[in-house]
Amino acid sequence: MQLAQDARERALTNPESFWAEQADQIVWHKKPTEILKENSDGTHQWYADGELNSCYLSLDRHIEEGKGDRLALIYDSPVTDTKKTYTYTELRDAVALFAGALKAQGVGKGDGVIIYMPMVPEAGIAMLACARLGAVHSVVFGGFAPHELAVRIDDSRSKVVLTASCGIEFTKVIEYKPLVDAAIEEATHKPEKVILLQRPQAQASMQEGRDLDWHEVQQGVEPAACVPLAATDPLYIMYTSGTTGKPKGVLRENGGHAVALNYALRNVYNMQDGDVWWGISDIGWVVGHSFIIYGPLMGGCTTVFYEGKPVRTPDAGAFWRVIQEYQVNGIFCAPTAFRAIRKEDPEGELFRQYDVSSLKHIFVAGEKLDSPTYHWLHELSNKPVFDHWWQTETGWPVTAPLTGLGETAIQVGSTNKSVPGYDVQVLRPDGSQAEADEMGSIAIKLPLPPGVAQTLWGDHERYLKSYLSTFPGYYHTGDGGYIDAEGFVYIMGRTDDVINVSGHRLSTGEMEEVVATHSAVAECAVIGVSDELKGQLPVGLILLKDGADISHEALEKELVALVREKIGALACFQRALVVKRLPKTRSGKILRAILRKIAEGEEYATPSTIDDVSILPEISDALTEAGITKKG
């Protein structure tokens, strides 16, 4: 405990010295001498004069240290009944060859590459190949609809799109190529090439002159070497939902990212060289970047690459089977997955069929860990269960126990204490610091530690406005909560209109824009309501245009289909409720925070700015009648 507290204090009192020490833990092509630099706009640069390569750190350097025969990646796909392993040497060779193929297609340092692929090893190989060349990859989750992919193609101006013929959801084959073709058709920017991995489950058509076969494109090419990159050169763009329809392209730099992930792997997750680590996520999310690919491989671990679900692939014992089979030492997962397992196997009968003694602990993040799920999981597994919190923008944990430094104390309901380098505070609307246990806005005092995004791709002004303008001198997280007297942080939810559906961060504002395109909709508000299984689900409140001739049931069905088409099935938009009026301020702003409280059955103070107080009981009655309002 004392080691952890000392680390927190040293990182805050002298961040430059602390992070210089952490930089010594990774291998640099050119070791930095300029550790921390403040820019005039309040942002910072870490290790500005250093040079390194993230692919070299993940693969080549382990081989040079004599660990080439160690397992680097285990691919386990219950949906295709496929298993495959790669040693560090085998993975390096595959990555170098594919990097050579990209290079032969004109991809080089600074070029954008979109990766729209399922959880197959080739997706991880593609990421590392981009890192090897200094190309900037942007992985787009395979569940996104063509419009969402088109927006990302346009914003990233990617030279090449890497994809596969299909992904698989349980037993359903989802063909990716038609989605990619539709996205490119819609996009203003046209990528030069599409490189396609044909999978046995679906054969995709190829467009002559543009589309190339994944395996054929690698024939006869020279494997590519690692390109030395500045620490401040971009590694990847990760798009995250904002409060408008346009996603924010979070930009991750190579240097601080490598230092931060190495620190987190060792000190937060207590994973050591040679351990087996399983980040249970998808490479389309930041967890997949940080703790399926880069973090565990940089740390010399074996990483499990899983193409399956917590249930129905084939059953709720799937996770425990993987842990036993590969002797997994640590896992990271969203609470949604464990709620699904609990629903299918509440008494743990399937759990008891497996030996999970190799497991040190279980980490969860991505959404709030509810107490019933925590107690069920802890009592069933007899393992420490740690909730922790971070964001796409931070790229690594903000609050977490430092298990690598012997810290195991928790408070159920809390995401634990700040990780060294993060000065987490709770601020009142006027920017003053809240007292212990007082609710407010969660903010992080500048400077932010290495690895946290310092800009958005092609839109620095939006970064400054979104994160640094609300509270000068602080990064505004967009989350609300409080800190208790012992320093434990409690995250209570977003203060904007971004919700977590099964750990996926989605914008209700974006859903509103889609819903509003329906010819019968005059106005709408989409709010997130709590759901026992998925954490949160969106619900649309709809005002019809005068004279609209459509039944409520038909409208709901059409709106569900519309959101599915424009955003994707992962939005889980399933309810659309027609109401007579929406509560607004006198200036015309919809009071979404009040709507959320009504839907959750929570008490609320009627704001003085509301234009008509009588609307609130109307909305409450409508939500209750529809079975949406929770019991208070």
* pLDDT tens digits for range 172-228: 999 999 999 999 999 999 999 999 999 999 999 999 999 999 999 999 999 999 999
Cα separation, 331 vs 324, in Å, equals: 12
Confidence of residue 256 (pLDDT cuts 50, 70, 90): very high
Range list of β-strands (E), 349-417: 361-364, 385-387
Mean pLDDT of 522-530: 86
Average pLDDT of the chain is: 93
Q: Which two tokens stand for residue 56?
A: 């070299």
Query: What is the reported pLDDT for 548?
Result: 84
Query: What is the reported pLDDT for 367?
Result: 74
Residues 6 or more apart in contact with residue 80 via CB below 8 angstroms = 168, 199, 200, 201, 307
Q: Are 369 and 342 in contact (CB under 8 A)?
A: no
Q: What DSSP element (H or E) covers 410?
A: none
Mean pLDDT of 489-502: 78
Mean pLDDT of 384-403: 97
Query: What is the reported pLDDT for 585?
Result: 61
Q: What DSSP element (H or E) covers 333?
A: strand 330-333
Query: What is the reported pLDDT for 599?
Result: 87
Cα separation, 285 vs 294, in Å, equals: 13
Which CATH superfamily groups domain 513-625? ANL, C-terminal domain (3.30.300.30)
CA 84 vs. chain centroid, Å, equals 25
Whether 621 has a pLDDT exceeding 50, the answer reads yes
Query: What is the reported pLDDT for 605?
Result: 72
pLDDT digits (tens, 9 = 90+) for 101-140: 999 999 999 999 999 999 999 999 999 999 999 999 999 9
pTM of the model: 0.86
Confidence of residue 569 (pLDDT cuts 50, 70, 90): confident
Query: 594 or 391: which carries more pLDDT confidence?
Result: 391
**Among the ranges given (28-37, 348-357, 531-540), the one the predictor scored with the smallest mean pLDDT:** 531-540
Cα separation, 600 vs 630, in Å, equals: 5
Query: What is the reported pLDDT for 581?
Result: 83
CATH topology assigned to domain 2-404+421-445: Rossmann fold (3.40.50)
pLDDT digits (tens, 9 = 90+) for 409-434: 999 989 999 999 999 999 998 999 99
Whether 630 has a pLDDT exceeding 70, the answer reads no
Cα separation, 319 vs 364, in Å, equals: 14
Query: What is the reported pLDDT for 296?
Result: 98
Whether 323 has a pLDDT exceeding 60, the answer reads yes
Confidence of residue 514 (pLDDT cuts 50, 70, 90): confident
Mean pLDDT of 261-279: 98
pLDDT digits (tens, 9 = 90+) for 38-76: 999 999 999 999 999 999 999 999 999 999 999 999 999
DSSP per residue, 557-585? HHHHHHHHHHT-GGG---EEEE-S---BB
Query: What is the reported pLDDT for 609?
Result: 55
Whether 587 has a pLDDT exceeding 50, the answer reads no
Confidence of residue 631 (pLDDT cuts 50, 70, 90): low
Nearest Cα residue to 124 out of 300, 365, 306, 342: 306
Query: What is the reported pLDDT for 436?
Result: 96
Angle 98-100-102 (CA atoms, 0-180°, nearest 5)? 70
DSSP state of 533: T
Q: Which two tokens stand for residue 361?
A: 């602990």
Whether 243 has a pLDDT exceeding 80, the answer reads no
Whether 502 has a pLDDT exceeding 90, the answer reads no
Cα separation, 495 vs 439, in Å, equals: 12
Q: What Å distances lie between residue 456 and 290, 311, 591, CA to CA?
A: 18, 36, 29
Residue range(s) of every CATH 3.30.300.30 domain in the chain? 513-625
Helix (H, G, I), strand (E, B) or coil at 492: strand
Whether 361 has a pLDDT exceeding 60, the answer reads yes
Residues 6 or more apart in contact with residue 382 via CB below 8 angstroms = none
Whether 616 has a pLDDT exceeding 90, the answer reads no
Query: What is the reported pLDDT for 485?
Result: 97
Whether 81 has a pLDDT exceeding 60, the answer reads yes
Residue range(s) of every CATH 3.40.50.12780 domain in the chain? 2-404+421-445
Q: What DSSP element (H or E) covers 607?
A: none
